[in-house]
Structure 1
Amino acid sequence: MSVIEMNRSTSISLPGAVSSEIWQKTQESSAVMGLARAIPLPGLGVTIPVILGDPEANWTGETAKSPVKRAKLSKKTMIPYNLSVIVPFSNEFKRDLPTLYDAIVQRMPGALAKKFDQTVFGGAEAPGADFDTLKACTAQEIGTNAYSGLVAADADVADHDGILNGWALSPKGKAVLLNAVDDTKRPLFINSVAEGAIPMVLGAPVRQSKGAFVAGTPNVVGFGGDWTQAVYGTVEGVKISLSDQATLTDGDTTINLFEQGMFAVRAEIAVGFRCDTDSFNKLTKA
């Protein structure tokens, strides 16, 4: 989808139910939002504690003092960054409002979810210094021996005092695992061809996302990690507005909505993301 900028607008708010449905579908479409913990995010940001180590219990004798052990904590600041998309429509969509709403709900969530996931997974530049990405996390190769690479990722997360409790796979990552077989040529990660899905890997749930693919040498096809160490937050969900008076700039093309019998819908979220990057591994395939 092209990047479109709206430089003049007379906006009309759409029904709140449309915004709510778009936000719900954005969360469903995003692997990161499906796996990470959600928190409310104030407009000015918030300082969140990051747990670096748990307190340790110890045995004590009768009437002996219990040991005092403090958890190791750090702090990070999460601030909201704006993520938006504008989609133009012909005026014919206005003839039937349910059709318009359906079209908006179908097109908007995927664009927002994909860009958010791409940014978290390092396929797009972070919007600022207070937005964490997994671009530089430890890599495990799964193209040659998928099972060995997945176990290595699980072990590395454990070495950093985490528990690998979720995977985010790109469609290409799913294909790698579907092709993985044992010595007798039986698939490792599915029960049957008819099933065709990979709901769990090494006991942890799997979410799919196009944003989990990062082209490179080698390609990144997925991620695994301890998602209790990842947090995202939004200020007020998705804001939706509609305009038929704006001028849009789509690359080198200028669109005057009024002159061309069109209107545009803008979806915007103010969102932040923070995590302990040591608790994640990326999966690569040459």
Structure 2
Amino acid sequence: MAGIDINRTTDGVYLPPAVSSEIWADAQEQSIVMQLARQITLPASGMTVPMITGDPEAEWVAETDPKPVSRGTFDHRTLTPYKVAVIEPFSMEFRRDLPALYNAVRSRLANAIARKFDEAVLFGPAPGTGFDTLADAPEVALVNTGDTTMYDGLVEAISTVSDGDGDLSAWVFNGGGEAMALQAKDQNGRPLFIQDLQNEGRRIGRFLGRDAYKSKHVRRDDNTIGFAGDWSTAMYGVVAQISVTESDQATLTDGDTTLNLWQRNMFALRCEAELGFAVRDSDRFVRLTDGGS
């Protein structure tokens, strides 16, 4: 709900801590970026993350010759947290079925947070400065036309990430990308995709020695079918666990509609989190497409 304005609230009827923890766990499970990137604790004011950009170099020396002096080089990234939030109203009658309410809160609110975060990281725009995205990652097409096969595209993706001084560690596909992956074969006609008997989380198997994952959050209205890259160079910051508060006396503004919860015998849950994302270099990632326009 955009433009929610809380004019009147209770003192804050907080859900039990165990409920908030469960919702946060669901958000982490549903966010593909949170699954693959490294998590760090982020202060509310943000932080500067130091990065090593070059190593000292050793040289061969003859006996008694002076030893060479060499220094590493350094850079930094600024990681700034931004708040992502959603409010969802319910009828009091729905509260009677507490298990149904709890399941609805977990699935709807957690996924809303996870989806918004993943979309910002993968496609942009960023919510503000100090929040990196992969919107400018190089594009690699995976096609089977003429003398070009999907195998060639996958090798090109590995090469492109390597050219950016990265090591491709994982693939992420949407539903269309998974279908193409299942059809991919090497130059000898053997399937490239290896399915695991026991998948964990959203991992669906392996591709050319790298883990492959599937997520609906990779989908948008274009020819994108996935992302791949060196996920060890990406990190997301969390200021605190997800916050969930409840009110039955607030007034919500939903577009042109005003909802007085007390008058309508309703209540609402507000879910929010402060998140940030940083990547060493977007050239260490590629956006995978189906070759269409």
Among 177, 191, 209, the alignment partner of 1:203 is 209
**How far does residue 181 in structure 1 lie from its aligned partner after superposition?**
3.8
Change (3 A) 1:161 1:239: same
Q: Which residue identity does 1:284 align to in structure 2?
A: T
Among 283, 286, 289, the alignment partner of 1:281 is 286
What is aligned with 2:37?
36
What is aligned with 1:86?
87
Task: Give deviations 1:146-190, integer Å, cap 9, x for gaps.
Answer: 221111111111112111112222222212212324578664314
Task: Give deviations 1:87-144, integer Å, cap 9, x for gaps.
Answer: 222212332444432221122211111111111111x421002111111110000133
Where 2:39 maps in the other structure, the secondary structure is strand
CA distance in 2, matches of 1:104, 1:45: 29
What is aligned with 1:154?
158
What is aligned with 1:142?
142
What is aligned with 1:178?
182
Identity of aligned residues (%): 46
CA distance in 1, matches of 2:240, 2:252: 25
CA distance in 2, matches of 1:104, 1:243: 14
**How far does residue 14 in structure 1 lie from its aligned partner after superposition?**
0.8
CA contact under 8 A between 1:157 and 1:163: conserved in structure 2?
Answer: yes
1:36-55 to 2 correspondence within 5 Å? 36-55=37-56
Change (3 A) 1:246 1:62: farther
What is aligned with 2:129?
129
Among 216, 241, 248, the alignment partner of 2:245 is 241
Where 1:164 maps in the other structure, the secondary structure is coil
Task: Give deviations 1:208-237, integer Å, cap 9, x for gaps.
Answer: 222222323xx1121111112111101002
Q: Which residue identity does 2:266 align to in structure 1?
A: M
1:94-109 to 2 correspondence within 5 Å? 94-109=95-110
**How far does residue 206 in structure 1 lie from its aligned partner after superposition?**
2.1
- Aligned residues: CA RMSD: 2.5
Where 1:147 maps in the other structure, the secondary structure is helix
1:183-262 to 2 correspondence within 5 Å? 187-190=191-194, 198-216=204-222, 219-262=223-266
1:47-86 to 2 correspondence within 5 Å? 47-59=48-60, 67-86=68-87
**How far does residue 43 in structure 1 lie from its aligned partner after superposition?**
0.7
* Structure 1 unmatched runs, 5+: none
Higher mean C-alpha deviation, range 19-28 or range 165-174: 165-174
Q: Which residue identity does 1:13 align to in structure 2?
A: Y
Change (3 A) 1:143 1:244: farther
Q: Which residue identity does 1:227 align to in structure 2?
A: W
Q: Which residue identity does 2:289 align to in structure 1?
A: T
Among 259, 266, 282, the alignment partner of 2:270 is 266
What is aligned with 2:13?
12
Change (3 A) 1:59 1:198: farther
CA contact under 8 A between 1:4 and 1:85: conserved in structure 2?
Answer: no
CA contact under 8 A between 2:192 and 2:208: conserved in structure 1?
Answer: no
Where 2:193 maps in the other structure, the secondary structure is coil
CA distance in 2, matches of 1:259, 1:65: 85
**How far does residue 67 in structure 1 lie from its aligned partner after superposition?**
4.5
**How far does residue 280 in structure 1 lie from its aligned partner after superposition?**
0.8
**TM-score relative to the length of structure 1:** 0.88
* Structure 2 unmatched runs, 5+: none
CA distance in 1, matches of 2:21, 2:65: 56
CA contact under 8 A between 1:53 and 1:161: conserved in structure 2?
Answer: no
CA distance in 2, matches of 1:66, 1:228: 34
CA contact under 8 A between 1:212 and 1:221: conserved in structure 2?
Answer: yes
